[in-house]
Copies of this chain bind each other. A is one copy, B any other.
């Protein structure tokens, strides 16, 4: 007697309240524009508990994860506060970003397939015929996808995970700065140069271009961004 083999998949086991609360809070925090107001943004555990319909325990556990991710800060006996990054901190993050993404570029020239590199170019084909400045939101999204693709193509999970964490703090900034000055044109030129270097497997040049592209953003923010303290 032999048992029938049913084609079933494992049940999604990660629906814990803790992780759901984490996702919900993360989304809520990243989508709110924390730099508009100047008030201290305290998170009331009981309030969140009521809003999400679960007890404080999983919410506290979610908040601790958010704290490690740098989205909130715990002040003992006072509560959790949404973190507002200072300009200095943003610049530091971009510097780390530059280090990691330029390493990703190195790895791509050494390990990625031609097809994978070609997929980067595909992200911008839409904008060859249309003026990107007229479709700034779309371009901004393509821009973000470009940078994430570079990281992902590195095939280095430690690097990908570390960048994900930094990315949280950068997304809003990138979207905001892309519409300033003539950064769109500059950005496209940079990207095309980077792709070219990757295609030609010019390891050092690809690394340098990616690093410089990020550090240029840092310079721009340092000089022009005023809404950070």
Are B89's CB and A96's CB within 8 A? no
Q: With a CB–CB cut-off of 8 A, which chain B residues contact A76?
A: 13-14, 16
Would you give the shortest CB distance from A146 to chain B, in whole angstroms?
Answer: 19
Q: Which of A91-110 contact B (CB under 8 A)?
A: 92-93, 95-96, 98-100, 102-103, 107
Given A68-B68, A98-B103, A99-B100, does the pair A158, B61 have CB atoms closer than 8 Å? no
Q: Interface code A62-105, partner B: CB below 8 Å = 1, 0 otherwise?
A: 00110011000000110000000000010011011011101100
In the complex, whether A34 has a CB less than 8 A from a CB of chain B is no
Q: Are B162 and A162 in contact (CB under 8 A)?
A: yes
* In the bound complex, CA of A57 to CA of B69 (Å): 21
A158 to B103, CA, bound (A): 17
A157 at the interface (CB under 8 A from B): yes
Q: Which of A16, A60, A76, A99: most chain B CB closer than 10 A?
A: A99
Shortest CB distance A42–B (Å): 17
Task: Report, as a range, how many residues of chain A touch the other chain.
Answer: 20 to 34
Give the complex CA separation of A16 and B65 in angstroms: 17
Q: Given A14-B76, A76-B13, A162–B64 Cβ distance below 8 Å?
A: no
Nearest CB in chain B: distance from A171 CB, A: 16
CB-CB under 8 A from A93, the residues of chain B are 158
What are 20 A-B interface contacts by the 8 Å CB criterion?
Answer: A13-B76, A13-B77, A14-B76, A16-B76, A57-B57, A64-B64, A68-B68, A68-B69, A89-B157, A92-B156, A92-B159, A93-B158, A95-B107, A96-B100, A96-B103, A96-B162, A99-B102, A99-B159, A158-B166, A162-B162
Minimum-distance CB pairs A-B, first 9: A99-B103, A68-B68, A92-B158, A13-B76, A99-B99, A92-B156, A96-B158, A93-B158, A64-B64
Binding site for B on A (CB under 8 A): 13-14, 16, 57, 60-61, 64-65, 68-69, 76-77, 89, 92-93, 95-96, 98-100, 102-103, 107, 156-159, 162, 166
Q: A92-B159, A98-B103, A162-B162 are in contact. List 15 more A-B contacts (CB 8 A).
A: A13-B77, A14-B76, A16-B76, A57-B57, A60-B61, A61-B61, A65-B68, A89-B158, A92-B158, A95-B103, A95-B158, A96-B100, A96-B156, A96-B158, A99-B100
